[in-house]
């Protein structure tokens, strides 16, 4: 009955269903998404080469991580959806356990304690939760009647809050915000009632004051203040934002040319190969280059939402949309921070910034997306 409705409402899907499965589908690869990702990867490596001061060593490192990440993506794409669903709680619990381990045995840099040392290999447990949280929540909410009732919303929020607080404590504000956001996105896509959303907003506004005074650390407050008035501390906290805005602004419409950006090539731009890499792109390729990048991102997001829409069950829909929208949040927070719209929180620009395990996590997410998109069609459960 439900199956027929579904067929009736979605004629394209029925065509899809009738069409013989292509090679790509058999391999569980979403070709449009793969092409877009490869284009972004190539573009990113091009910019990274310039941003890293033309160091081949960085490109090699990044290339190796990408190879690994694509491998992980293809592997993850082969996994059947119900496996994710079954393992979701354990995956989540393992992530939280690792976070607790970090608290006691973790190693860190620059005042933060984020890594576990696994015999020479440094591993950041918060990466696990970037996927574990949306998988668990999608699984939990999809097995409840939607839109979720208050109890379920409450349980969901607890599930979000535990890892968020643990990561915020490391401290890693950027990652904790992203993980919380990925959870809230699942809740939103699951049809969270508007009255809850409005209520939450009112609470948020009311809670901003105690948050500012009791939760945020000095350096985090400083970042927020710096964002509002970067000129106040030109050589200190404001330096990054001033220099990145200068790089972007001086790039103009057509840019200064690849490897020709004075801000980045002469080292005025700090963190140019990591968090602030879009400033290099904007300086050297101009507004044109920025629009190309944003276009590619939008297409990836559009494809991701399409996969979510055509997913066969609610779990797939919620998970696909959460992964896609979280990807957008990464992009938005990073670019917003580099252009001085948002405070500086350490969020890399996906697929472009120099990264390690974060690239693998990201591509694993796209692997899940492909798994959802290429799932063998079942008419009924």
Partner 1 sequence: MRETQLLKDHFREARIFRHRVVVAAVLLIGLMGILVARFHNLQVVHHDGYVTQSDRNRVHVQVIPPTRGLIYDRNGVLLAENVPSYTLSIIKERVENLDKTIGVLKDLLPISDDDLEKFNKSIRQRRRPFEAVPLRYRLQEDEIARIAVNEYRLAGVEVEAQLVRHYPQGELFAHSIGYVGRINDRELAAFSPEQYERYSGIHITGKIGLEKYYEDILLGTAGHQNVETNARGQVLRVLDRSDPIPGANLTLHIDSKLQRATYDAFEGQRGAAVVIDTQTGGVLAMVSTPSFDPNLFVTGISFKDYRGLNNSLDLPLFNRALQAQYPPGSTVKPMLGLAGLHNGIIDSEYAIRDPGYYQLQGDERVHRDWKPRGHGNHVNLKLAIAQSCDTYFWDLAFRTGIDRMHNFGTQFGLGRRTGVDVPSERSGIWPSRTWKREARGLAWYPGDSLNMGLGQGFVLATPIQLALMTSTIANRGELKKPLLVNTIDGTALEPESHNESKVLPEHWDTIFDAMEAVVHGGGTAKIIRKGTKYQLAGKTGTAQVVAIKQGEKYDSEALAERHRDHALFVAFAPVVNPRLATAVLVENGEKSSKAAKIARKVLDQWLLNEKGRYVAAAPPISPRASVGGEG
Q: Where are the alpha helices (DSSP H) in the chain?
A: 2-9, 11-18, 23-26, 31-51, 56-78, 81-105, 126-142, 150-168, 173-189, 194-210, 218-228, 239-251, 262-265, 277-310, 314-338, 357-373
Residues 86-145 that bind partner 1 (CB under 8 A): 143-145
Quickly tell me which residue has 């065509």 as its tokens: 15
Site membership for partner 1, residue 230 (CB under 8 A): no
**Pick 54 or 75: Cβ nearer partner 1:** 54
Select the residue interacting with partner 1 from 31, 339, 346, 356 (CB under 8 A).
Answer: 339
Site membership for partner 1, residue 341 (CB under 8 A): yes
Residue window 182-201: x/- pattern of binding to partner 1, with contact defined by CB under 8 A? ---x--xxxx----------
Site membership for partner 1, residue 325 (CB under 8 A): yes
**Pick 1 or 23: Cβ nearer partner 1:** 1
Residues 260-289 that bind partner 1 (CB under 8 A): 262-263, 266-268, 282, 286-287
φ/ψ of residue 209, rounded to 5: -65, -55
- 101 and 128 in contact (C-beta within 8 Å)? no
**Pick 179 or 335: Cβ nearer partner 1:** 335
- Separation CA 213–CA 332 (nearest Å): 26
Site membership for partner 1, residue 56 (CB under 8 A): no
**Pick 220 or 246: Cβ nearer partner 1:** 246
DSSP state of 145: -
Site membership for partner 1, residue 204 (CB under 8 A): no
- 185 and 322 in contact (C-beta within 8 Å)? yes
Binding range to partner 1, per CB under 8 A, among 36-44, 96-104, 297-305, 347-355: 297-305
Burial class (CB in 10 A: 0-12, 13-18, 19+), 135: buried
Q: Beta partners for 17?
A: none
Instruction: List C-alpha distances in Å: 287 to 155, 230, 257.
Output: 44, 23, 12
- 368 and 131 in contact (C-beta within 8 Å)? yes
The number of residues making up the chain comes to 381
Binding range to partner 1, per CB under 8 A, among 72-80, 102-110, 203-211, 244-252: 244-252
- Separation CA 139–CA 103 (nearest Å): 28
Select the residue interacting with partner 1 from 97, 199, 207, 249 (CB under 8 A).
Answer: 249
Binding range to partner 1, per CB under 8 A, among 20-28, 57-65, 106-114, 258-266: 258-266
- 276 and 48 in contact (C-beta within 8 Å)? no
Binding range to partner 1, per CB under 8 A, among 74-82, 155-163, 328-336, 358-366: 328-336
DSSP state of 10: -
Question: Closest distance between partner 1 and the C-beta of residue 268, in Å?
Answer: 5
Rg, the chain, Cα only: 21
Quickly tell me which residue has 């507004």 as its tokens: 287
Select the residue interacting with partner 1 from 83, 103, 309, 379 (CB under 8 A).
Answer: 309
Question: Closest distance between partner 1 and the C-beta of residue 189, in Å?
Answer: 5
**How many chain residues are in contact with partner 1, going by CB under 8 A?**
53
Question: Closest distance between partner 1 and the C-beta of residue 37, in Å?
Answer: 18
Binding range to partner 1, per CB under 8 A, among 93-101, 125-133, 221-229, 315-323: 315-323
**Pick 56 or 197: Cβ nearer partner 1:** 197
Question: Closest distance between partner 1 and the C-beta of residue 270, in Å?
Answer: 8
**Pick 9 or 18: Cβ nearer partner 1:** 9
Using the CB atoms, write b or e for 155-190: b if 16+ within 10 Å.
Answer: ebbebbebbbebbbebbbbbbbbbbbbbbbbbbbbb
- Separation CA 136–CA 74 (nearest Å): 21
- Separation CA 136–CA 168 (nearest Å): 20
Residues in contact with partner 1 by CB under 8 A are 2, 5-6, 9, 143-147, 185, 188-191, 243, 245-253, 262-263, 266-268, 282, 286-287, 290-291, 294, 297-298, 301, 305, 308-309, 313-314, 317-318, 321, 325, 328, 332, 335-336, 339, 341
């Amino acid at each position: 009955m439900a199956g027929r409705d579904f067929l009736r409402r979605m004629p394209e899907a029925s065509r899809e269903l009738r069409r013989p499965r292509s090679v790509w589908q058999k391999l569980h690869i979403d070709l449009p998404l793969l092409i877009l990702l490869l284009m972004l990867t190539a573009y990113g490596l091009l910019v990274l080469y310039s941003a890293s001061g033309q160091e081949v060593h960085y490109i090699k490192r990044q290339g190796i991580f990408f190879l690994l990440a694509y491998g992980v993506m293809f592997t993850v794409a082969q996994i059947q959806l119900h496996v994710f669903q079954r393992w979701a709680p354990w995956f989540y619990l393992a992530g939280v356990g690792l976070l607790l381990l970090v608290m006691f045995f973790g190693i860190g840099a620059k005042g933060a304690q984020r890594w576990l040392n696994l015999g020479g290999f440094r591993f950041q447990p918060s990466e696990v939760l970037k996927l574990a949280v949306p998988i668990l929540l999608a699984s939990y909410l999809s097995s409840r009647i939607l839109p979720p009732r208050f109890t379920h919303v409450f349980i969901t929020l607890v599930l979000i809050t535990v890892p968020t607080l643990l990561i915020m404590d490391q401290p890693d504000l950027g990652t904790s915000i992203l993980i919380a956001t990925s959870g809230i996105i699942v809740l939103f896509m699951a049809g969270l009632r508007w009255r809850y959303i409005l209520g939450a907003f009112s609470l948020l506004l009311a809670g901003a004051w105690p948050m500012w005074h009791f939760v945020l650390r000095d350096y985090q407050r400083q970042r927020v203040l710096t964002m509002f008035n970067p000129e106040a501390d030109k050589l200190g906290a404001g330096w990054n934002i001033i220099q990145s805005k200068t790089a972007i602004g001086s790039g103009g419409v057509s840019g200064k040319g690849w490897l020709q950006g004075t801000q980045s090539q002469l080292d005025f731009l700090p963190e140019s190969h990591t968090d602030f890499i879009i400033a290099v792109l904007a300086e050297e390729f101009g507004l044109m280059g920025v629009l190309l990048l944003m276009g590619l991102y939008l297409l990836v997001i559009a494809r991701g939402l399409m996969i979510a829409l055509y997913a066969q069950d609610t779990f797939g829909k919620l998970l696909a949309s959460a992964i896609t929208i979280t990807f957008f949040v990464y992009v938005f927070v990073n670019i917003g921070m580099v252009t001085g719209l948002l405070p500086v929180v350490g969020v890399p620009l996906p697929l472009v910034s120099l990264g390690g395990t974060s690239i693998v996590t990201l591509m694993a997410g796209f692997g899940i997306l492909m798994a959802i998109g290429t799932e063998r069609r079942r008419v009924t459960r």
